[in-house]
Structure 1
């Protein structure tokens, strides 16, 4: 079955429906993640050839590798169509340029609404679910003023700060969800999610019908950070998803900003900690606009740790032979560029070895380009 034109791609003169269908099937196949998906396309040229080659690349010897059944993809596409969603592929001209730059950028997104909002300068606003009334009001005010200043406001549709940021910035708002595009979460935000989908932009990485799971939220957070020139934390505890988003923004070389709060309120301790670590202290929307106006990729905040670029050697993958790196791996995360140094092999050979281990289910990828043995 070919992908229906209305759900396949925004760039159909470059990507056929058959290739679009194969790409969706490739990404839904076992042990294929964003990095391995990109590497498979680079090695084999297109998704159809990659699907054919997958069984030979799983060298675990335990089983014959099976790609996702075509019927699963057919059902997914039908569900996307029913939801009024469209597919956006990583090489579409409408794919957000800043998001494409991050490590592990989602190869395929589903969206509803105005994709043009993602082409505007974007600011992420995140914070506590159990936020104080003052912080909720502040988030709504900041979001409204940023939207009035021509920026798109990005958040994750959670309770508290996220919801206030969306409400304050509609229609110039982008909601990124951890579920399928046809699932409203949290349920009390069903109306808000539908408003974002019809007036703003709603994005989902997971297939339609996917219920949100704990592992999906860090993935959602990387998209929020990746879309944005900067991330503003309004109120957050020291161990929260909001701080994860902020650190992902720093890792991606984006501005990290925080609003200071009382040291007596646990919900402010995360923001105060970020400022102590080098985040930019902001007290008004004008401060935020000043920080991101003319953003040249060099943030003034110091909350950052550059991650190695996993796609720097994609053009060499077609002719590479896998390096012997498995003996260098343990269950402790290590950066893949460290494996290059220790193995003495080329980057493409190391990447190919990691790809084969991932397809065999023996490798896990983490933030910052780090990998470890599965389990």
Structure 2
């Protein structure tokens, strides 16, 4: 490994505040020259005592672990000045010193939309994340998210299924998986898209890393779409950082009784664009890609709404009781006692019908409450 790469890794591993390390890296023709300048130059750049110690004596085990990781196929280290470093990310208030990339770095510069939201979304929230991500990929855009459980994972998976580009920005080292059950998903994203981190190999996931991770999600995207977020959701941090970076912020409204929608409603009150369809999001960013990507521009302006309403299959549509129950159900979960009141049917009859509909994939049950399955395919049988 060349001297410049080793010097850059030493600077990354020094940790602490980014401004001083960026100033140090920019003060000389190369990072290696900046480190060779010695402690006086480091102190003049604003490095803290802890940074001075780590620059003088980098952790040999951490340095060697990072070097070993970089020797593997598909592993890259992109410094801020690298031509492959995404231009949009250079413009954010706190750009990273470098990016550790697993996969093909090329998609980092592709026009992208971030899809973020709750780690425990409703079935409707998961379906909307998949629907929006699929539409974005079909329009030629990449989908960015943070590989968290819930909305993030749904967005990534939908992009992969659509054969599109997806970027996962993680809050740990590129050799670490968090949450741990996303091992297969992270591997698939690296194979077909790209996994990005500003943290060196061996860095565990820590709570303090996720707001920093969120600034990269927001910084890489032309727009950030929030789907279901509580008032204290990390997705709201991503949205705020996107706004600070001058990017579009969009939020999907939800039921006033759904606490997961409260954060989205707050964003809308604060000025985020209220969106109901993927096309509305793409219309917001179309002017930004019109000049550079005319072919993509034409696809962004194409109709994307294919109708979201699902309908009962014929064998249920022919029975009045099923028709009544279907009309009483909504996309927000409804308790059994409310369904009994709305339908005028006995609890035993309703339970039997709901079970049949659940087995058919038409209805989902969440904590004893029932709602239409947003992922149920559209049919015209009951029209």
Q: TM-score, normalised by structure 1?
A: 0.71
Check whether the contact 2:219–2:242 (CA below 8 A) recurs between aligned residues. Answer: yes
Q: Residues 36 and 83 (structure 1 numbering): CA distance in 2 closer, same or farther, change over 3 Å?
A: farther
Cα offsets for 1:85-108 (capped at 9, x unmatched)? 211111111111101111111121
Quote the residue 1:12 is aligned against: none
SS at match of 1:294: helix
Task: Give the drift of 1:185.
Answer: 0.9
For residues 49 and 185 of structure 2, the distance between their equivalents in structure 1, rounded to whole angstroms, comes to 47
For residues 170 and 69 of structure 2, the distance between their equivalents in structure 1, rounded to whole angstroms, comes to 17
For residues 90 and 106 of structure 1, the distance between their equivalents in structure 2, rounded to whole angstroms, comes to 7
For residues 96 and 245 of structure 1, the distance between their equivalents in structure 2, rounded to whole angstroms, comes to 18
2:170 is equivalent to residue 177 of structure 1: yes
Q: Residues 291 and 38 (structure 1 numbering): CA distance in 2 closer, same or farther, change over 3 Å?
A: same
Check whether the contact 1:126–1:161 (CA below 8 A) recurs between aligned residues. Answer: yes
Q: Residues 82 and 42 (structure 1 numbering): CA distance in 2 closer, same or farther, change over 3 Å?
A: closer
Check whether the contact 1:58–1:65 (CA below 8 A) recurs between aligned residues. Answer: no
Quote the residue 2:35 is aligned against: 51
SS at match of 2:113: strand
**Quick one: higher RCO (CA 8 Å, sep 6+), 1 or 2?**
1
Quote the residue 1:78 is aligned against: 68
Q: Over alpha carbons, which structure has the higher Rg? A: 2
Task: Give the drift of 1:81.
Answer: 2.9
Cα offsets for 1:177-208 (capped at 9, x unmatched)? 11111111101111111100101111111111
Task: Give the drift of 1:113.
Answer: 1.7
Q: Residues 277 and 79 (structure 1 numbering): CA distance in 2 closer, same or farther, change over 3 Å?
A: same
Q: Which of 190, 212, 215 lines up with 2:205 in the alignment? A: 212
Cα offsets for 1:21-65 (capped at 9, x unmatched)? 21221221253x432222112223322232234522448998973
Task: Give the drift of 1:226.
Answer: 0.4
SS at match of 2:288: coil
Quote the residue 1:265 is aligned against: 258
Q: Which of 145, 154, 159 lines up with 2:144 in the alignment? A: 154
Q: Residues 185 and 61 (structure 1 numbering): CA distance in 2 closer, same or farther, change over 3 Å?
A: closer
For residues 187 and 25 of structure 1, the distance between their equivalents in structure 2, rounded to whole angstroms, comes to 28
Quote the residue 2:286 is aligned against: 293
Quote the residue 1:323 is aligned against: none
Query: Any residues of structure 2 matched to 1:102-117 within 5 Å, and which?
Result: 102-117=92-107
Cα offsets for 1:342-368 (capped at 9, x unmatched)? xxxxxxxxxxxxxxxxxxxxxxxxxxx
Cα offsets for 1:297-333 (capped at 9, x unmatched)? xxxxxxxxxxxxxxxxxxxxxxxxxxxxxxxxxxxxx
Equivalenced residue count is: 281
Q: Which of 19, 42, 48 lines up with 1:35 in the alignment? A: 19
For residues 61 and 218 of structure 1, the distance between their equivalents in structure 2, rounded to whole angstroms, comes to 22
Q: Residues 272 and 61 (structure 1 numbering): CA distance in 2 closer, same or farther, change over 3 Å?
A: closer
Quote the residue 1:247 is aligned against: 240
Q: Residues 268 and 61 (structure 1 numbering): CA distance in 2 closer, same or farther, change over 3 Å?
A: closer
CA RMSD of aligned residues (A): 2.2
Check whether the contact 1:83–1:182 (CA below 8 A) recurs between aligned residues. Answer: no
2:268 is equivalent to residue 278 of structure 1: no
Cα offsets for 1:190-240 (capped at 9, x unmatched)? 111110010111111111111100111011100000000110001100111
Q: Residues 66 and 260 (structure 1 numbering): CA distance in 2 closer, same or farther, change over 3 Å?
A: closer
SS at match of 2:249: strand
Q: In structure 2, list runs of 5 or more residues that go unmatched.
A: 290-383
2:231 is equivalent to residue 238 of structure 1: yes
Task: Give the drift of 1:79.
Answer: 2.8
Q: TM-score, normalised by structure 2?
A: 0.69
SS at match of 1:257: strand
Check whether the contact 1:156–1:220 (CA below 8 A) recurs between aligned residues. Answer: yes
Q: Residues 236 and 62 (structure 1 numbering): CA distance in 2 closer, same or farther, change over 3 Å?
A: closer
SS at match of 1:106: coil
